[in-house]
């Protein structure tokens, strides 16, 4: 039978929930995973003897950190799981002048850019950077999560900080991003293999969400070899944002969604290509096809 903690413990947890969710999201880069981690932390609190918890906020941060670290390490061992989560919820909006209710989404793109950079860190580096630099968690507490000394933890965080500062942020919605994507599309259409390699990062990740599951292709050579999938004729298309990343959505002549593609560009090269062709997921996108006359190039 599940124990029910005293009311004051429940209230204290709820007071920490938003902060815990923010910590987990920045460590994991997934709202759904962050919610799961916070819920698991609550379940562990329910089973914990209150008398053994000296500092509830610190205890919860440690628990959320450990669960998140385990999940990060699991993703490294099974990368397809992370991609499946990435496409669990599609948010597709027109990539044009923002309406008032789109301002928040565009503001979040700054956070999205940092999350892409954090993906380049090891699980330990990411956890140390997020907890210390974003949430001011002491190195001693972070070291307990990582199983490292305070000194070693400082070195891990310092290494992560150097990597973050040295890594170019993903290109935003300006011309630089679009120029790279246009160069890729032109090279794909003409079958220019060398031109494709020039705009693809050597470790580019191509992710295709199909009716049968998520298919991941790694490396510029493999992606360039299969680039003919980008050169097909589509009846209609328009610029969109897929989960905050600029790309294109295309429709068949009858207005049925055909695909949505988004490109992540860092340092003038494409580091990620995300494609959704699963009809079930495309059907959930309520974005009308443009008229031919009004179609944007």
d(CA 150, CA 29): 26
- The count of other CB atoms within 10 Å of the CB of residue 6 is 9
Report the length, in residues, of the chain: 297
pLDDT band per the 50, 70, 90 thresholds, residue 101: very low
Weakest-pLDDT range from 24-33, 44-53, 121-130 = 24-33
Judge whether 66 and 22 are in contact, CB under 8 Å.
Answer: no
Angle, helices 31-47/7-28, rounded to nearest 10 degrees: 150
Residue 222, φ and ψ in degrees, nearest 5: -65, -40
Our separate counts of H helices and E strands in the chain read 12, 7
Which whole number is the average pLDDT over 212-229? 84
**Residue 214 contacts by C-beta under 8 Å, 6 or more apart in sequence?**
80, 83, 84, 87, 207, 208
Alpha carbon of residue 142 to chain centroid: 23
Judge whether 220 and 197 are in contact, CB under 8 Å.
Answer: yes
Nearest residue to 45 via CA among 30, 67, 29, 28: 67
Query: pLDDT digits over 174-202, tens only?
Result: 446 778 888 888 888 788 889 999 999 89
Helix/strand/coil for 164: helix
Output the average pLDDT for the chain. 78
pLDDT band per the 50, 70, 90 thresholds, residue 44: very high
Helix/strand/coil for 218: strand
Q: What is the 3-state secondary structure (H, E, C) of 227-276?
A: HHHHCCCCCEEEEEEECCEEEEEEECCCCCEEEEEEEEEECCEEEEEEEE
d(CA 52, CA 56): 10
Domains and CATH numbers, the chain: 7-79+118-166 (1.20.140.160), 80-117+169-297 (3.10.450.50)
**Residue 221 contacts by C-beta under 8 Å, 6 or more apart in sequence?**
197
Judge whether 35 and 79 are in contact, CB under 8 Å.
Answer: no
- Given a cut of 90, is residue 233 above it in pLDDT? no
pLDDT at position 268 is 82
**pTM value?**
0.54
CA distances from 64 to 18, 86, 104, 146 (A): 12, 20, 26, 12
pLDDT band per the 50, 70, 90 thresholds, residue 246: confident
Query: pLDDT digits over 125-162, tens only?
Result: 999 999 998 888 999 999 999 999 999 999 999 999 88
Nearest residue to 203 via CA among 119, 295, 292: 119
Bridge-based pairing state of the strands 236-242 and 269-276: unpaired
């Amino acid at each position: 039978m599940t124990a029910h903690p005293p009311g004051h413990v429940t209230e204290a947890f709820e007071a920490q929930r938003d902060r815990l969710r923010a910590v987990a999201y920045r460590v994991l880069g997934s709202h759904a995973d962050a919610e799961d981690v916070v819920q698991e932390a609550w379940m562990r609190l329910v089973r914990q003897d209150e008398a053994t918890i000296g500092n509830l906020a610190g205890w919860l941060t440690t628990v959320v950190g450990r669960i998140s670290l385990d999940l990060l390490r699991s993703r490294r061992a099974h990368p397809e799981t992370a991609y499946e989560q990435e496409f669990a919820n599609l948010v597709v909006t027109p990539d044009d002048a923002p309406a008032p209710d789109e301002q928040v989404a565009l503001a979040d793109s700054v956070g999205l850019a940092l999350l892409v950079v954090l993906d380049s860190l090891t699980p330990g580096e990411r956890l140390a950077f997020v907890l210390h630099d974003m949430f001011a968690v002491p190195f001693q507490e972070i070291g307990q999560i990582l199983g490292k000394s305070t000194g070693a933890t400082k070195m891990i965080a310092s290494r992560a900080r150097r990597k973050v500062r040295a890594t170019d942020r993903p290109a935003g919605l300006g011309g630089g991003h679009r120029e790279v994507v246009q160069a890729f599309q032109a090279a794909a259409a003409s079958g220019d293999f060398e031109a494709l390699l020039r705009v693809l990062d050597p470790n580019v990740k191509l992710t295709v969400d199909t009716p049968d599951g998520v298919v991941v292709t790694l490396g510029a050579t493999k992606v360039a070899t299969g680039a003919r999938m980008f050169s097909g004729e589509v009846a209609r298309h328009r610029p969109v944002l897929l989960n905050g990343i600029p790309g294109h959505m295309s429709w068949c002549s009858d207005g049925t969604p055909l695909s949505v593609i988004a490109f992540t560009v860092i340092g003038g090269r494409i580091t990620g290509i995300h494609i959704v062709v699963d009809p079930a997921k495309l059907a959930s996108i309520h974005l009308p096809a443009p008229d031919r006359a009004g179609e944007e190039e």
